[in-house]
Structure 1
């Protein structure tokens, strides 16, 4: 398929519909963007060559027109000198150049019309390219968002967190029991407790508090990672 046929196909295509119906929309958007970028380069390269050809044709037309004027002057000169035969031959040569010039002008007109259409199509292709890029960006954002939701659900259903929270609750219950035991023990028995026993109880409470603090840090880190 020629590049201008591809250009027309792309300009007339419903990009959103093509992308949404694809099995892998993000891949389809990426391929379409690559196709459009390649087509843009090819069309612009072809347009540069066409413009160069047009300039050559313009110069040829100028030479044909100048040649026609020259043969016209020669015909007048020959007729003034009584050489009607030469004047007629000069007019025939002038007519040939005029016909060639007319063909060149028609070709120039066709080239100009083609360039004008290509310019419009290039503008539409550029707009389609921007549309495809915006669609691809939207798809990427949606995919990242969906992946984050999946990761979050996996984290929330991780049994390790449930286990850690259970241990946290157990420690809190142990602390409450120790505190209650200490309070009940202190009711009338504080005076009878030895110094060593008081230090032992203090160390036990400190150990539980330390373990609780470490567990809180673990739960906090996992929660932040989610």
Structure 2
């Protein structure tokens, strides 16, 4: 009996929170914990049934003994009525023996009854706890699912923020590309500009006009010298 109570105590004091803290997947751990608890419940149920059977047997043995005592009493009464005192004494001696046996059987039954009551109470408590955990399992799993969903959302948000940063970098790259294109287009415009040819021609003719003046001045000097 002590071994049964110790094992039952171990079952009832199992720290599910500690198990969940170590679990990589709490939902699977809950299922495993309940499977273990139900397996233990089956063992407790079998041992409870065995003790209850002992109680039933003890009760049956006690009732049979009480019945035998009653029979010996009746046989003794019949023997007295038949004026057979020797037989009456025999029946009364047997009755006395049975009463001693009845006393011992009563103690056995009382002990078995007490053990059966304890086991039945603990069994019922364990059944209630298993049912309670089954009911809570759905809520716990729902919380775990919500937590996983929130974790996914957090990761998506983090990814979106990273994408936002990438877009900002892309915008800067595009702005730089636009600036480079504008500079290239400006250079192309400068390279394609034509020199005004009239400017060269004017410069040429301007230079010739100056030469004519010089020649005319020289001719004028020569003419004046000739008149002297």
Count of aligned positions: 169
Who is 1:109 aligned against? 110
CA distance in 1, matches of 2:118, 2:84: 51
Query: Measured at CA, do residues 156 and 18 of structure 1 come closer, stay the same or move farther in structure 2, by a change above 3 Å?
Result: closer
* Number of the residue aligned with 1:43: 44
2:194 maps to what in 1?
A: none
Alpha-carbon displacement from aligned partner over 1:150-172 (angstroms, at most 9, x marks no partner): 32233334379549967x989xx
Conservation of the 8 A alpha-carbon contact between 1:47 and 1:115: yes
| Aligned pairs (5 A) from 1:169-188 | none
- TM-score, length of structure 1 as denominator length: 0.56
Could you state the TM-score of these two structures normalised by the residue count of structure 2?
0.55
Q: How does 1:1-226 map to 2 (within 5 A)?
A: 2-11=3-12, 13=13, 15=15, 17-19=17-19, 22-24=21-23, 26=26, 29-133=30-134, 136-137=137-138, 139-158=140-159, 161-162=163-164
Structure 1: gaps of 5 or more residues: 174-226
C-alpha contact 1:75 1:88 (8 A) present in aligned 2: yes
Higher relative CO (CA 8 A, sep ≥ 6), structure 1 or 2?
1
Distance 1:81 1:146, change over 3 A: closer
Report if the CA contact (8 A) 2:11-2:37 is conserved. Answer: yes
CA distance in 1, matches of 2:39, 2:156: 43
Counterparts of 1:17 and 1:158 in 2: how far apart (Å)? 33
- SS of the residue corresponding to residue 129 of structure 1 reads helix
Q: Which of structures 1 and 2 has the bigger CA Rg?
A: 2
